Every structure is written in structure tokens, then in C-alpha cells.
């Protein structure tokens, strides 16, 4: 699956997962002689790997989201919640044709719906990432001005990604309705998509823009911190306790941006690989591992992990040192 979807895949819901795999294995055994596909069982294994990645990622993001929502010890900004929720949408988009990855093609409407979702989901994730890092940039900038972030500005950051998501989804639906022959299941069997070039180009360009914005913001944040390092180490943690303003979060956001850029590069490579080949399936799996990477980046922060370690007693956080000699490693 390309991050600016030329593709998508399906993931079985937990209750139907083993039943679906049994059906697939039976189908492969019964039809391999007819189709002359000696690697059909390998295709099933590749679909299974992708599905497992999506299921585990969805559960992890759900656990992270509800931990932050329900625990008074975990404080995060609205754009952080939006970022985590967007990746849940991303994985859910892959669940629609579960049980229909092998065999007869899925129905037109469910296939078209999934195509719309998988082309729109990367745009949602990309610009939720932009919103998150932009709020981080505002926070870093304002910490040295003793200013507050405008509420209207935050509302815009929260509303812009869903609006773009809806526009891309509508664009794919219109294409599919005007020319139903464009709506097909990919040859890897992982997803439904459009065979036209317009949808992946629009999504790819939009996502690439979001990546460029994120990387630019990361550079600006690094410059601000470098120029105001002493003031940052004295003020950031005592003043900002919402989980946004810490060196840990800055580093994690930078890792997130770099991994997203890597996935963009992989997706671009997948465009030159013949559809339905083992190489294309492996590239789809690599792209499909991004939600897992995001869950690990933002779900392994100390306050979240401490909540999950319920067997340990809560330990009051120790005072944050303000001496100039404190290094960045102390905060990671």
C-alpha cells in the first residue's frame, strides 16, 4: 500500500480473522491448479502479515488514545489526540473487504468506499501531523514571549485535516461513479483502488506537501531551541505541563517526521514496481508498518508507560532541575 495510496489492504476484525484465513487456505488449495498460481499461498501469507500489522496498530493506538483520555497523569494537546485518532482511521480503512481479498471481487459499493477511504486517510494523517508539529512550533515560539496560543488557531488546526480528508474522499467517489471500471481490487489482493493515475497523483502531491511542511517546521523548531537553549532548559518543563513542551516530545516529533519521509520515498519507489509482484507486496507491507511505528513513537513516553504498569505504585515526579549544565539526555 502506497502512503499516497495507489493501494490499500484489508484487515480482518479479531473475531473473523482465523475464519478468514481458513477460507483463504481452502480457496488456494482448490484453485491453484486452475489459476496456475504456484505462489498463491505466499500471497496469502503476505496478506496475513499486512492484516496483523493493521490490527495490532489499531489496538495500540486505541490503547494510547484512551490512556491519555482517561488518566489524569497523562496530559496532551488536542492536536496530539487528533494525530493518534487519524492513525486509527488509517488502519480502519483497511478493514472493509475482509474475507474478500481472495476469490470473487468485492461488491462495487464497498470497493469504491474503501478506495475513497484509503486515498483520503494518508492526507488525514499527514495534515494531522502538520497540525501537531505546528502547535509544537507555536508552543516553542511562545515560551520565550510569555504568550498564549490563540484558541482560534488551535480550532483551525483541528478542523483543516478532516476537511481535506472529506474533499479527497469525495474526489475518489466522483471518479469511481463516473467510471465504475476504474474501481478494482489490487492484484496483491490487499485493497481496492482506482486504476486511474489522477487519484494517486492528487493524494501523493497533497501528502508530499504535508511532509515538506513538517520538515520545515522541525528545522525552525531546532533553530529556535538552539538560539534559546539556556532559556528553554530553565523554563520549558516547569511552565508547560501538557506533555507538549518537553525535549522528549520534540525529539519524538522529529523521528516521526523522518519516518514519514522514508515512507514517502518507499511509496514513490512502489510506483515503478509492477503491480501484483512479490516486490510490490513487500513494499505495501513496509508502508503498512508505519502505523505501528507511530504507535511506538508516541506510546512509549514515560507517563503513558507508567499508567500501563498498574502493578507499581505511583511515584510523584521529582522536581525538574533548572541548572544550565543539564543535558538533553536527561530529558529523553
Encode pLDDT of 229-288 as tens digits. 776 666 544 444 444 556 778 888 889 888 877 777 666 555 545 566 677 778 778 887
Per-residue model confidence (pLDDT) at position 250:
80
> What residue spans of the chain are helical by DSSP H?
17-35, 40-70, 78-92, 108-142, 151-178, 198-227, 229-239, 247-270, 278-288, 290-299, 302-308
Q: Is the pLDDT of residue 10 over 50?
A: no
Q: Which domains does the chain have, with CATH numbers?
A: 14-308 (1.20.1070.10)
The count of C-alpha atoms lying within 13 angstroms of the C-alpha of 40, restricted to the half-sphere facing its C-beta, is 19
Q: 221: closest CA among 186, 199, 246, 202?
A: 246
Contact predicate 185/104, CB 8 Å: no
pLDDT at 150 (0 to 100):
59
Is residue 9 a contact partner of residue 44, using CB atoms and an 8 Å limit?
Answer: no
Residue 2: pLDDT band with limits 50, 70, 90: low
CA distance 157 to 286: 29
Segment 214-236 mean pLDDT: 79
- Specify the pLDDT at position 314: 54
Position of cell 492513525? 87
pLDDT over threshold 50, residue 180 = yes
Residue with cell 482465523: 18
What would the mean pLDDT of 299-318 be, rounded to a whole number? 73
Q: What pLDDT is stored for residue 208 in this prediction?
A: 87
Lowest mean per-residue pLDDT among 76-85, 149-158, 185-194, 249-258? 149-158
Contacts of 239 (CB under 8 A, 6+ apart): 143, 245
Kindly tell me if the per-residue pLDDT of 83 is higher than 80: yes
pLDDT of residue 332: 32
Amino acid at each position: 500500500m502506497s502512503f499516497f495510496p495507489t493501494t490499500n489492504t484489508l484487515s480482518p476484525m479479531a473475531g473473523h480473522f482465523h475464519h478468514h484465513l481458513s477460507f483463504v487456505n481452502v480457496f488456494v488449495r482448490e484453485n491453484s491448479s486452475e489459476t496456475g498460481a504456484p505462489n498463491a499461498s505466499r500471497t496469502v501469507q503476505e496478506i496475513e502479515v499486512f492484516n496483523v500489522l493493521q490490527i495490532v496498530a489499531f489496538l495500540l493506538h486505541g490503547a494510547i488514545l484512551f490512556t491519555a483520555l482517561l488518566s489524569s497523569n497523562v496530559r496532551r494537546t488536542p492536536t496530539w489526540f487528533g494525530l493518534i485518532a487519524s492513525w486509527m482511521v488509517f488502519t480502519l480503512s483497511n478493514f472493509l473487504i475482509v474475507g474478500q481479498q481472495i476469490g470473487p471481487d468485492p461488491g462495487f459499493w464497498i470497493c469504491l468506499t474503501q478506495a475513497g477511504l484509503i486515498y483520503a486517510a494518508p492526507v488525514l494523517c499527514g495534515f494531522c501531523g502538520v497540525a501537531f508539529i505546528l502547535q509544537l512550533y507555536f508552543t516553542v515560539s511562545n515560551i520565550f514571549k510569555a504568550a498564549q496560543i490563540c484558541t482560534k488557531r488551535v480550532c483551525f488546526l483541528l478542523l483543516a485535516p478532516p476537511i481535506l480528508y472529506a474533499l479527497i474522499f469525495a474526489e475518489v467517489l466522483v471518479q469511481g461513479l463516473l467510471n465504475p471500471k476504474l474501481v478494482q481490487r489490487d492484484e496483491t489482493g490487499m485493497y481496492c483502488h482506482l486504476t486511474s493515475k489522477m487519484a494517486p497523483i492528487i493524494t501523493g502531491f497533497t501528502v508530499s506537501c504535508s511532509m515538506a511542511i513538517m520538515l520545515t517546521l522541525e528545522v525552525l523548531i531546532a533553530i529556535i531551541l538552539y538560539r534559546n537553549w539556556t532559556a528553554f532548559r530553565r523554563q520549558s518543563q516547569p511552565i508547560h505541563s501538557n506533555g507538549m513542551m518537553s525535549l522528549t516530545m520534540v525529539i519524538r516529533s522529529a523521528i516521526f517526521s523522518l519516518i514519514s519521509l522514508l515512507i514517502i520515498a518507499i511509496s514513490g519507489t512502489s510506483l515503478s514496481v509492477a503491480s501484483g509482484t512479490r516486490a510490490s507486496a513487500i513494499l505495501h507491507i513496509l508502508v503498512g508498518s508505519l502505523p505501528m511505528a507511530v504507535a511506538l513513537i508516541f506510546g512509549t513516553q514515560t507517563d503513558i508507560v507508567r499508567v500501563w504498569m498498574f502493578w507499581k505504585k505511583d511515584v510523584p515526579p521529582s522536581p525538574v532541575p533548572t541548572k544550565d549544565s543539564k543535558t538533553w539526555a536527561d530529558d529523553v
